[in-house]
Structure 1
Amino acid sequence: MSREFVVAHVVPTGLRASVGGYVGDATPPTNKMAEVCDKVIVHPNVVNGVMLNCAKENVLYVEGYHLDRFFLGETALREVKQNRIGVVLDHVDERHYNFGVNQVNAVKANKGIKVTGIVRTREKIKDSVFRSKTGAYIGKIGNPEVIFEACHALLAEGADALCLSAKINVSHKIMAEYFRGRIPNPYGGLEAILSHAVSKKFGVACAHAPLQLYSQRLHDFGIVDWRGAAEVVSTAYLGCVLQGLDRAPRPVPVKRAKPSDWRIGDLAALVCPHNALGGIPMLACEERGIPVLAVKENSTILRVTKERLGLKNVVKVKSYDETVKLLKKMRRR
């Protein structure tokens, strides 16, 4: 389309990014970029803030699998006025289920989202979370078919976006370490596996929100790392995801794209942490000659840098404020 100035902001999940490694803490720099760009493309965890989603209206909310396909030139993004959202809730006890339904209804009442239905999986989603050799947390799903069945039912009811919510088994001890800023997000990797699997199978806008209910123990954590504070004042994670999916662009195969859809050729730049440059978005931009702005202010547990990979199209930027200034200059060219 190439008629507007479009950038992407990617913060890989579960790598203890100093900006974006918690919940919604990458929203302020994203919004600063949105002030100088026509569109900013992000994946959900960049702007998800538990009950809050404070991203500006010109921020496009795209699930990670679809985002990768976008960077590979296989998928285009079609903006919509509003999606019809189907909600999949884990097969949890009545207390958790009621909490999930109340979250959906709260956002529906206050934001006017369209919900086609809520389906509880026929059995508990069998998930496990563990730490990899790199220090990142990843996960495994033992029975993805129960998620797929629920998604099928919601799509048959007319949903064109899917909100997933599983009760993820993470110990209180691990969460305490996370809230102290000592370890990466322990459930983000599993969330990515869930949403990627559904996105790949059904090809619709999708995102995941943990279905956690431990409010009676939140006071145990004391005053936490400021970037994780949203999680100890509310565990209503469905709020941010439903708000994001409300206007999330629809992924469309490039062969069926319209002139008004966004393609990789429309992208002016990619912004990301300086030492997490090994993902599909970064390597695809390198191959296509799209500038990658590597922000030194944002560091992860990885050491995948411009020098280590021999990347030639990466521009090191000290901070997000400098990134915004550079984007302004790029736009004027």
Structure 2
Amino acid sequence: MTMLICEDELQCPPQKDNTTLLQHLSQVTEQRIPKELVPVRFVVSESSASGFKCEFGAISGLSDSGREPIDSIFRFRTRRTENTESFNVVLLVPTGIGAEIGGHAGDAGPLAQMLAEVSDTLILHPNVVNASDLNEIPDKALYVEGSVMSRFMMGTVGLQRIRSNRVLVVIDAHRDNLFINAAVNTVSGARASYGLLCPEVVCLDPPVTLKANFSPSGRAVGRVEELENLCDLLDQRAEQFDAVAVSSVIDVPHEFHQGYFDANGSMVNPWGGVEAMLTHTLSSLYNVPTAHSPMFESREIANMDPGIVDPRMAAEAVSTTFLQCTLKGLQRSPRIITDVNAMNDPGVLTAADVACLVIPDGCLGLPTLAALEHGIIVIAVFENRNLLKNDLSSLAWRPGQFYPVENYWEAVGVIAALRAGIDPRTVRRPLAETRVTRFQGSRIDSGTQTAHCCNSISAVLPFRGVLSA
């Protein structure tokens, strides 16, 4: 059986009273999906009183491939403490959900720079800052692939800062040398201008096949085929790289190329979803940072003039390879630490080091579910509209754990208040009245019990007097 990555959906019933939401969704998913499918992505696309509409990407054929099994994406380790010595923020803008901010071509980059100013470390994923030939990732930020971000929040991996990675670049053996040459020149430019360490550029023949489409909810997803050749290559080069950049053709309907630009942001970026499915799989299999960039199918498409486009997608309109952003991000992407003992080492960030998670409103995936379990503060931003339909305020948050805000300016204010150790609501007006309640303790009415209680206290008092002396 060949390995492939596909997307599917699942209807989960309402949550049971005796389980947490993460436990409930995990149990239902693992019970209902076929055994040969190994999930690598998971999202709740819509929730209501009748249950949860879930979508997941999964690998099939992994057990028959002879490769090591991967951990369940639902594996969760509760953080035992919170490290309050630093204030570290996780910024998430899920790929393929049509987010107003961050849903196109690195258009959440300014947001990342703003949040970095109120964070000691900002942990983000490639979708936030990847802008074709541009990547303005803040110095304080860590570039973390999406599945690694989920595992990090679930408490099963740690992140270790590094000086630099050996980035293996894998490109399609394109039938037109123009695109191969452009990719090689992009790598050479990275080596010459900012010192990228690239041991090799490999032309993969036959290449991995990526086909983009949309899920029932409208999310960008797809199908990945002929994965074996890429995995065989990575198996053979296992000791020669620390990170992997893949550049390959993505099969989309011809009209999507111009239609995406003509839609002025109303069309979900069709390429990002299937890219995420591939990188989730590779990072799960090899525990290294990975990123993908698309390759043009032909000169005809490369020579299309999209005109003046929406600024959010302009970086894509002027690029030939879309590769440079991934190279810059992977150069210093943190090492993935899977050993439980090593996760306790100084300098390794874990879920215990996360102060808050910032997400678009409605986003309910593994990072949000993990934050709910850990007690990590979540800030949900209404202005970053998207396709997901979940009322996050209905979840079982602890007091002071969930902050819905109108925009990212307001999110920065909440973070500043939290860093200062004050309740963000106390700087708003009107200020709510102080809540006063009465707790009525149980009374002991029996005279015998009262006497026994008094005798017990009398017996203890002399002993306490000795201690105080």
Q: Is 1:168 equivalent to 2:253 in the alignment?
A: no
Q: Is 1:183 equivalent to 2:267 in the alignment?
A: yes
Q: Is 1:9 equivalent to 2:97 in the alignment?
A: no
1:305 & 1:16 partners in 2: Cα distance?
Answer: 18
For 1:37, give the aligned amino acid.
S
For 2:279, give the aligned amino acid.
S
Aligned to 2:378: 292
**Higher mean C-alpha deviation, range 312-321 or range 182-191:** 312-321
**1:1-333 mapped onto 2 (5 Å cutoff):** 2-93=84-175, 94-156=177-239, 158-179=240-261, 180=263, 181-212=265-296, 217=301, 219-255=304-340, 256-257=342-343, 258-276=345-363, 278-307=364-393, 309=395, 311=397, 313-333=401-421
User: CA offset at residue 254 of structure 1?
Assistant: 4.8
Q: How many residues align?
A: 331
Deviation by residue 1:280-307 (Cα, 9 ceiling, x = unmatched): 0011001111111001111101212314
Q: Kindly indicate whether the alpha-carbon contact (under 8 Å) linking 1:69 and 1:75 is maintained by their aligned counterparts in 2.
A: yes
For 1:329, give the aligned amino acid.
A
Q: Kindly indicate whether the alpha-carbon contact (under 8 Å) linking 1:272 and 1:292 is maintained by their aligned counterparts in 2.
A: yes
1:288 & 1:45 partners in 2: Cα distance?
Answer: 25
Q: Kindly indicate whether the alpha-carbon contact (under 8 Å) linking 1:6 and 1:38 is maintained by their aligned counterparts in 2.
A: yes
Q: Kindly indicate whether the alpha-carbon contact (under 8 Å) linking 1:88 and 1:151 is maintained by their aligned counterparts in 2.
A: no
Deviation by residue 1:172-208 (Cα, 9 ceiling, x = unmatched): 4113232222311101111011111111111111111
2:257 & 2:223 partners in 1: Cα distance?
Answer: 18
Q: Kindly indicate whether the alpha-carbon contact (under 8 Å) linking 1:9 and 1:40 is maintained by their aligned counterparts in 2.
A: yes
2:91 & 2:243 partners in 1: Cα distance?
Answer: 22
Give the structure with the higher percent helix.
1
**Higher mean C-alpha deviation, range 219-228 or range 206-215:** 206-215
Q: Kindly indicate whether the alpha-carbon contact (under 8 Å) linking 1:91 and 1:125 is maintained by their aligned counterparts in 2.
A: no
SS at match of 1:77: strand
For 2:260, give the aligned amino acid.
Y
Distance 1:222 1:116, change over 3 A: same
User: CA offset at residue 265 of structure 1?
Assistant: 0.8
Q: Kindly indicate whether the alpha-carbon contact (under 8 Å) linking 2:247 and 2:323 is maintained by their aligned counterparts in 1.
A: yes
For 1:95, give the aligned amino acid.
L
Q: Kindly indicate whether the alpha-carbon contact (under 8 Å) linking 2:207 and 2:230 is maintained by their aligned counterparts in 1.
A: no
User: CA offset at residue 235 of structure 1?
Assistant: 3.0
Aligned to 2:13: none
* Rg larger for: 2
2:339 & 2:360 partners in 1: Cα distance?
Answer: 28
TM-score (norm: length of structure 1): 0.94
1:328 & 1:56 partners in 2: Cα distance?
Answer: 18
For 1:162, give the aligned amino acid.
V
Distance 1:96 1:153, change over 3 A: farther
Deviation by residue 1:78-115 (Cα, 9 ceiling, x = unmatched): 00011111111123222221121111111111111110
2:350 & 2:153 partners in 1: Cα distance?
Answer: 8
Q: Kindly indicate whether the alpha-carbon contact (under 8 Å) linking 1:88 and 1:150 is maintained by their aligned counterparts in 2.
A: no
Distance 1:309 1:178, change over 3 A: farther
**Higher mean C-alpha deviation, range 163-172 or range 45-54:** 163-172
**Higher mean C-alpha deviation, range 142-151 or range 309-318:** 309-318
Q: Kindly indicate whether the alpha-carbon contact (under 8 Å) linking 1:86 and 1:155 is maintained by their aligned counterparts in 2.
A: no
Distance 1:215 1:221, change over 3 A: farther
Q: Kindly indicate whether the alpha-carbon contact (under 8 Å) linking 2:182 and 2:320 is maintained by their aligned counterparts in 1.
A: no
The alignment yields a C-alpha RMSD, in angstroms, of: 1.7
For 1:182, give the aligned amino acid.
S
SS at match of 1:315: strand
